[in-house]
């Protein structure tokens, strides 16, 4: 007979900051010490309005809200991206959080990186949308991107920690989800020559011997 184990709910760490602020010191220090912030895009919402509405978003200029998450950080970080053509800098980001997100062990205050980018010609919006669409067509669940940023922090108030965004890189990958891994680009993380169907056609790399000293 197998012994039955009682399932227990996972325990969450208590928020370190005041008023339930979930950002911890380790994560803030991690962000402060990297110049490039990687993140994954998982969801894009576009909204169009009729021209009868003041400040409407037309088909040529929709309102776009992008969400995702930040990998590799010490804690889970939610990412929200919006756009403003009138923004003075290329982009800014702030550390914020959302209240009372439901979890099986209790409600959670969710730390979030809130990003705002200037996009006067909609090229960034288009780039994000195409990257996620192509990733989904390639049977991926997200698209990769990276921010180049410098960090500033008001040590007296974690709610005022923020970044100046200098640039953004978006990776757009498109291939068939049925493509064999040996046919991927050789520098792709999933490239695997072991799946090549005719190994007799492969040639071993020559053994290079060190030259003899005269």
Strand locations in 135-179, DSSP E?
Answer: 143-152, 162-170
Residue 193 lies in a domain: no
Closest listed residue to residue 20, CA positions, set 128, 98, 135, 106: 98
Neighbour-count burial of 59, counting CB atoms closer than 10 A to its CB (0-12 exposed, 13-18 middle, 19+ buried): exposed
* Rounded Cα distance, 133 and 173, in Å: 9
Instruction: Please give the pLDDT value at position 174.
Output: 82
pLDDT tens for each residue of 115-126: 999 998 889 999
Residue 209 lies in a domain: no
Q: Domain tally for the chain?
A: 1
Q: Are 168 and 147 in contact (CB under 8 A)?
A: yes
Q: Are 128 and 145 in contact (CB under 8 A)?
A: yes
* Torsions phi, psi for 135 (to 5 deg): -65, -40
Domain assignment of residue 111, given as a range = 18-171
pLDDT at residue 211 is higher than 90:
no
pTM of the model: 0.74
Categorize the per-residue pLDDT at 32 as very low, low, confident or very high, splitting at 50, 70 and 90.
Answer: confident
Instruction: Please give the pLDDT value at position 214.
Output: 55
Q: Of 27-31, 135-139, 154-158, 178-182, which gets the smallest average pLDDT? A: 154-158
Residue 90 lies in a domain: yes
pLDDT average, residue stretch 130-141: 91
Instruction: Please give the pLDDT value at position 34.
Output: 87
Categorize the per-residue pLDDT at 162 as very low, low, confident or very high, splitting at 50, 70 and 90.
Answer: confident
Residue 149 lies in a domain: yes
Residue 192 lies in a domain: no
- What DSSP line would sit under 2-21, residue for residue? PPP----PPPPPPP-SGGG-
* Torsions phi, psi for 210 (to 5 deg): -65, 140
Residue 191 lies in a domain: no
């Amino acid at each position: 007979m197998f012994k039955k184990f009682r399932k227990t709910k996972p325990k969450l760490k208590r928020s370190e900051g005041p008023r339930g602020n979930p950002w911890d010191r380790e994560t803030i220090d991690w962000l402060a010490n990297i110049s490039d912030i990687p993140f994954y895009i998982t969801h894009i919402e576009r909204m169009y309005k009729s021209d009868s509405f003041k400040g409407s978003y037309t088909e040529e200029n929709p309102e776009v809200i992008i969400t995702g998450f930040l990998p590799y950080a010490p804690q889970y970080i939610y990412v929200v991206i919006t756009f403003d053509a009138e923004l003075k800098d290329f982009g800014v980001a702030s550390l914020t959080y959302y209240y009372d997100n439901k979890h099986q062990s209790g409600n959670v205050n969710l730390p979030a990186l809130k990003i705002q980018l200037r996009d006067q010609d909609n090229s960034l919006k288009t780039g994000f949308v195409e990257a996620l669409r192509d990733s989904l067509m390639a049977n991926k669940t997200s698209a990769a991107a990276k921010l180049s940023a410098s960090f500033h922090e008001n040590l007296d108030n974690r709610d005022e920690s923020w970044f100046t965004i200098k640039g953004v890189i978006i990776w757009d990958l498109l291939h068939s989800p049925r493509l064999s891994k040996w046919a991927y680009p050789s520098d792709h993380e999933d490239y695997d020559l072991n799946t090549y169907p005719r190994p007799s056609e492969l040639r071993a790399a020559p053994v290079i011997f060190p030259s003899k000293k005269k």
